[in-house]
A and B are shown apart, each in its own frame.
Chain A
Amino acid sequence: MHRYKFVLYRPLQFLPVLFGISLITFVLVRLIPGDPARVLLGTKSTPAAIAAIRAQYGLDQPIWLQYFYFLQNLAQGEMGKSILYKIDVLRLITTRIEPTLVLVLCSVLLSLLIAVPLASLAARSNGGPADHIVRFISTFGIGFPPFWLALMLIIFFSVRLDLFPVSGYGETLADKLYHLILPSLTIALSLSTVLIRSLRTAMIAELKGDLATAARARGMPESIVFWRHVVPNSLVPTVNLLAVNIGWLIGGTVVVESVFALPGMGQLLVRAIFSRDYMVVQGVAMVFACATVLVNFLADIVTVAIDPRVKQ
């Protein structure tokens, strides 16, 4: 099992990565012009009132000291207090994490459901009409901006056909999934176009590869060759592609959550940035960073599991 040894030491590499991200976010968010105290007080703010708020949240301290306090809090498992919401950032995040998590999972699942059959179709008719149609669609799909796509889906499926709710998040699990179909579809339609291209190329290579040729030589029917040998092997680059795209996927949730009014982290982040709610921006960025690191780690494990040749 020495192939899995990286599972033990890889997490050690996460620490400097996360440390770097925390530093960059901390500095960047403070470089944006503007002032959380000003946003909090609105147009009727006086210089004295602004100074009082800044002092209350330690924003009048030198930036390196603020960063030190931030790290100190982080070491104790705390992320400070939101200036806008007046509660602990970690608590705030826990109230908002579920919709985003489920949305990302559903989107990945749905994009695989779209991408695998279409890519298979294209690869097996390599150069044929089906291939051309799929390639055309996937090239076309990349061009659609998600917010526009989201509105079109709402207008067609929710307003015209009355099949899905326009927006929002449900109460029960079934209700939540029902509310998430259109949002996931919006992301999946974009994501699957990327996946289709990578899968199709990998499949075509595998179809011509030694493994497939050997299987055919043993008299295996073509469909079994395809599903047993070609598909699993072409999934390896796709899994890695998905992992690389996790950042993009999280970015996509920001847009989609706003359009579909999903109470997730993406929306939380947008409002926090506009309000210059530094602590919340830092907190959400840390969570997204951890998620990205974790997903890439899991992708490595999955890759090793799928393909015995891979050594980390």
Chain B
Amino acid sequence: MTAKWTKLSVATVLATLVFGATIAEAAGVLTIGRREDGTTFDPIKTAQNVDNWVFSNVFDVLVRVDKSGTKLIPGLAESWSISDDGLTYTFKLRDAKFSNGDPVTADDAAYSILRIRDNPGSLWADSYKIVDTATAADAKTLVVKLTGPSAPFLASLALPNVSVLPKKVVEGIGEDAFGEAPIGSGAFAVKEWRRGDRVILTKNPEYWDAANVSLDGVEWISIPDDNTRMLKVQAGEIDTAIFVPFSRIAELQKDPNLKIHLDTSTREDHLLINHEHGALAKKEVRQALDMAIDKKAIVDAVTFGLGEIAYSYVPKGALYHYADNLQRPYEPEKAKALLAEAGAADLKLNYVVNAGDEVDEQIAILLQQQLSKVGVTVDLQKVDPSQSWDMLIAGDYDISVMYWTNDVLDPDQKTTFVLGHDSNMNYMTRYNNPVVKDLVSAARVEMDPKKREQMYIDLQKMAKDDVNWVDLYYSPYRNVSRTNIENFDQNPLGRFFLEETKKN
């Protein structure tokens, strides 16, 4: 009897192997390995990149950001005009259809803008409070009136969260159901969402530019473990993987079957300084700290040389980035003298570190060493990441490393958060320069792009002079693909141009 069972189980295992081994892989379906699965398909209810990066190819927006990440180009709106007082925007919509065949109308666009402003579940309401009315003049003409002029408004319409949704469908099936099985007008449509596993997209034949879409579909597959995700693409089981760890780039570059993509991002890591704490209130002390930090050493250690030294709060690859901004050289001796002059020769700083974050802990140790060379004693206080945020908000720190990534092309959002003294005390730094603050408000309503650019250049210079924080480094998006994949590109705001991607 035992022998019989043995035979049977061996046979079962073999049969499983044979039948299981045929993994169906449709030609022209691009598989992308990422860390986490999405959370919802209702664009107004999420602020996570995992969702937004998929939205960009499922939904469409009125205006899009181009590949360089610095220019607005037509999306569902073919053209637009702005009244002289800067209050009225008129959009002409192109002939586009949702994936269910219904036409995209100005009514849908107006509905989507008002919904993100008014819906109680919207995480983005604040960004659209400037909208007074949004109405359909006719089926293809949308008129948006603002309560005041706003230079960044147009750019805010490129955010995937304000994508144009089919009013009839959202109201018909209810927003909860829509959040699970959405209808959009993007290049791909959601076919199936296997929670925790993958989102399966198929080419949307109704997409207005469907003729130029080469892929038959896209699968966003969740593979949380970095090692597994890299092995999966090395084994050829998926076409591409995103979030390649810095430490793996050199090794993967040697694999002839793989291509590494390092696309410019808007991520900037910086050292927050609490301007309200003792000697840190003095500009000279903050400048000395900037001089005492060897950013090159950080770039080399943390990003394996793949990042770049940061020198402006407007990152490289973002609109109005000032490439000639001051870069204080690494001069520990001068920093020491400056500190002594400011009466802060024996400065003691409390550094809040995110425990368990490898990069954060690495930077902390480097900074501690570097600052000790200029006589600054740094006490590392390791706390849980979610606790550190509360401490930063409460001002319970001297220095701490944080990062920021842009999700809109316009610099106003970050500028307001960082210099405009609007909320969160200038990104927890308590930096307060009234001249800078006024310039931030003025730049927001300046409609002349030339003048506006100059204002942002001035802001970058002033922030650098005041050392609102210490700019540390910029880092690129790090993706890997098999060599048969072409045009797998991401713009600095994170949008993947999958409508251009080819699988050979």
Contacts and interface: CB of A to CB of B under 8 A. Distances in A.
B174 to A, nearest CB: 12
Nearest to B385: A34
Interface string B190-217: 0000111100000000000000000000
B486 interface: no
Contacts of B9: 113
A98 B228 CA distance: 22
A85 B197 contact: no
Nearest to B230: A166
Given A178-B16, A261-B221, A261-B223, A34 B40 contact: no
B83 interface: no
Size category, A interface: 35 or more
Nearest to B20: A178
B20 to A, nearest CB: 3
B21 interface: yes
B176 A87 contact: yes
A35 interface: yes
A167 B47 contact: no
Max chain B C-beta neighbours (<10 A), residue from A113, A155, A172, A261 = A261
Given A86-B42, A178-B20, A227-B2, A95 B423 contact: no
Given A34-B384, A46-B126, A271-B36, A167 B196 contact: no
A258 B176 contact: no
A98 to B, nearest CB: 11
Nearest to B179: A86
B231 A261 contact: no
Contacts of B23: 165, 175
Contact of A44 (B47, B221, B386): B47
A178 B121 contact: no
B17 interface: yes
Contact of A86 (B39, B234, B403): B39
A159 B222 contact: no
Contacts of B232: 166-168, 261
Interface residues of B, number: 57
A258 B40 contact: no
A61 B53 CA distance: 35
A162 B194 CA distance: 26
Contact of A165 (B222, B237, B385): B237
A42 interface: yes
B235 interface: yes
Contacts of B197: 168-169, 261, 263
Interface string B1-39: 010000001000001110111010000000000001101
The 6 nearest A-B residue pairs measured at CB: A34-B386, A178-B20, A263-B196, A263-B197, A33-B387, A46-B423
10 contacts: A33-B383, A34-B390, A43-B404, A53-B123, A95-B196, A113-B9, A154-B228, A166-B228, A181-B16, A261-B222
Interface of A: 32-35, 38-49, 53, 56, 84-87, 92, 95-96, 113, 151, 154-155, 158-159, 162-163, 165-170, 172, 174-175, 177-179, 181, 227, 258-261, 263-264, 267-268, 270-271, 276
